[in-house]
C-alpha cells in the first residue's frame, strides 16, 4: 500500500487538539486526511484535506464518513460503536478496533476487564445509578470515603468526584457509575504503549503526572518520572501486559498509581494519543502522534526513547474568564530556552478548558520542572 502522495485516505473521528497534532505528522508524510467533528470551529479543520461536520454518536453520519476512507482511526472514545462494527465487517480497517473500544469506552466494563485478566487495579463496585450507590452507603454496604466515577462521557476530571460524606452524592448526576476504593499513593504515573497489526510493540518511558488539586486535571507531565528504576520497569511491564490483553492497535495510554509500598495499580486506559504523551513532540525521537500513525498503517514503529528530559504544562482557561481567548505573556515565554507553546485553536475559553500546552526540554529534569513552574506562573489564558 502506498500511503504517501497517493489516493490513500485516512479518516479521523474527532477534530480536537489530538487530531490537530496527529495531522502535523500526516502533513509531514503527505498522507491525505478526512476529519469528522461536530464543531464548525474544530481545531483540526485547518490541517486536514477534507473536513466533515457531523455528530460522532450518530450511526449514519459515522458510517457514511467511514465508507469514504481506506483506514479509520479516532482521537476521542465517544463515537458510535455500532457504525464502527459495521464498517469493520465491510472491510474498512478501524484502529483501535471496535472490540477494543467496546472494552474501554465504559469505565465499568473497563474495570471488569482488569479484574477478569488479573490486571492490578483498585477495588470497586459497579452501580446502575447514583441512587442505588446512595442506598448502598445508607445500608452500610459501602464505606466512605471513595471515588465516584460515571462510567460514560467523563473527561478531564469531569465525571470523577471524591465522596467523603454521604451528602456529597446529592450533587452528582444520577447515572451508571462505579465507587472505587481510595488508594493512598505516592505518584500518578502513565505509560504509552504503541502496537501495530504485525504485533511490533514498544513502550514510551514512564511519566509522572502532577494534578491540580481542585480541577482534577493534569498540571504537569514529567518525563522521565522521578522514580526508582525497579518501579519504572514494573510499570512498563504492566503496561505491556495491559496492551496485549486488549489486543489494541495504535496507542494505548495506561494511567497508574504507585502505592506507598511501590505496587503498581492500573487506574484507567485510553486507546488514542494522550495528554501524558504531548512532551514527546519535542523530547522524544518519535512523537506519540507519529507512532500512532505508524502503528495504524502497519509501518515500523519509531524509537520511543527521549533525547532529553521533557515536561509538559497544560494551558487551561483561568477561573473567572469565559469568552474569546487571549494568551497573556506568551511572548515572554517564547524568549526562554527550550520552551515551546502549542495553541490548540479553540477560539473560546472557559475555566479549566484545555486551550494548549507548553513543553519544556532540558538536560536536567529538575531544572525543567523549575522552568515549567515559571511558565505556569507567567502565561495566563484569559478572555
- Which residue numbers belong to the known binding site for ATP? 107, 149, 180-183, 188, 267-268
pTM: 0.94
Q: What is the mean pLDDT of residues 316-344?
A: 96
Vertex 45: Cα angle to 255 and 275 (nearest 5): 15
The band of 156, judged by pLDDT with boundaries at 50, 70 and 90, is: low
Binding site: which residues?
A: 107, 149, 180-183, 188, 267-268
Q: How confident is the model at residue 157 (pLDDT cuts 50, 70, 90)?
A: low
For residue 334, what pLDDT is reported?
A: 95
* Residue range 75-80: mean pLDDT, rounded: 94
Domain parsing of the chain, residue ranges: 9-94, 123-181, 185-382
- Give pLDDT, residue 155: 64
Please give the CATH topology (third level) of the domain spanning 123-181: Dna Ligase; domain 1 (3.30.1490)
In which order are the strands placed within the sheet that holds 9-13? 50-53, 32-37, 9-13, 71-74
**CATH class for domain 9-94?**
alpha beta
Q: pLDDT of 202-231, one tens digit each?
A: 999 999 999 877 766 788 999 999 999 999
Mean per-residue pLDDT, 85-91 = 98
| Common-topology check for domains 123-181 and 185-382 | no
Residues with Cβ within 8 Å of residue 248, at least 6 apart in sequence? 96, 97, 100, 193, 195, 271
* pLDDT (mean) for 375-381: 96
State residue 217's pLDDT score. 75
Question: What CATH number was assigned to the domain covering residues 185-382?
Answer: 3.30.470.20
pLDDT (0 to 100) of residue 213: 72
C-alpha of 45 from chain center: 20
Amino acid at each position: 500500500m502506498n500511503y504517501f502522495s497517493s489516493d490513500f485516505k485516512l479518516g479521523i473521528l474527532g477534530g480536537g487538539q489530538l487530531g490537530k497534532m496527529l495531522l502535523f505528522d500526516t502533513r509531514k508524510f503527505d498522507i491525505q486526511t478526512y476529519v469528522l467533528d461536530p464543531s464548525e470551529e474544530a481545531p483540526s479543520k485547518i490541517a486536514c484535506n477534507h473536513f466533515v461536520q457531523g455528530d460522532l454518536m450518530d450511526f449514519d453520519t459515522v458510517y457514511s464518513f467511514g465508507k469514504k476512507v481506506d483506514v479509520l482511526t479516532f482521537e476521542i472514545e465517544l463515537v458510535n460503536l455500532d457504525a464502527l462494527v459495521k464498517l469493520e465487517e465491510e472491510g474498512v480497517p478501524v484502529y483501535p478496533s471496535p472490540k477494543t473500544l467496546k472494552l474501554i469506552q465504559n469505565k465499568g466494563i473497563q474495570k471488569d476487564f482488569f479484574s477478569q485478566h488479573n490486571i492490578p487495579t483498585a477495588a470497586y463496585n459497579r452501580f446502575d445509578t447514583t441512587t442505588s450507590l446512595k442506598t448502598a452507603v445508607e445500608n452500610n454496604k459501602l464505606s466512605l470515603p471513595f471515588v465516584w466515577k460515571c462510567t460514560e462521557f467523563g473527561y478531564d476530571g469531569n465525571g470523577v468526584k471524591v465522596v467523603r460524606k454521604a451528602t456529597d452524592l446529592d450533587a452528582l448526576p444520577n447515572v451508571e457509575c462505579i465507587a472505587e476504593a481510595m488508594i493512598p499513593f505516592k505518584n500518578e504515573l502513565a505509560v504509552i504503549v504503541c502496537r501495530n497489526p504485525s504485533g511490533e510493540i514498544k513502550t514510551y518511558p514512564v511519566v509522572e503526572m502532577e494534578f491540580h488539586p481542585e480541577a482534577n486535571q493534569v498540571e504537569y507531565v514529567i518525563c522521565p518520572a522521578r522514580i526508582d528504576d525497579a518501579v519504572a520497569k514494573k510499570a512498563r511491564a504492566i503496561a505491556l501486559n495491559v496492551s496485549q490483553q486488549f489486543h489494541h492497535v495504535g496507542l494505548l495510554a495506561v494511567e497508574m498509581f504507585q502505592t506507598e509500598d511501590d505496587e503498581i495499580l492500573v487506574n484507567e486506559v485510553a486507546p488514542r494519543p494522550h495528554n501524558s504523551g504531548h512532551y514527546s513532540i519535542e523530547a522524544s525521537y518519535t512523537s506519540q502522534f507519529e507512532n500512532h500513525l505508524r502503528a495504524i498503517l502497519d509501518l515500523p514503529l519509531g524509537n520511543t526513547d527521549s533525547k532529553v528530559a521533557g515536561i509538559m504544562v497544560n494551558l487551561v482557561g483561568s477561573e473567572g474568564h469565559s469568552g474569546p481567548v487571549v494568551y497573556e505573556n506568551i511572548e515572554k515565554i517564547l524568549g526562554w530556552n527550550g520552551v515551546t507553546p502549542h495553541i490548540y485553536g479553540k477560539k473560546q475559553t472557559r475555566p479549566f478548558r484545555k486551550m494548549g500546552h507548553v513543553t519544556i526540554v532540558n538536560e536536567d529534569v529538575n531544572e525543567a520542572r523549575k522552568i515549567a513552574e515559571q511558565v505556569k506562573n507567567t502565561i495566563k489564558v484569559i478572555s
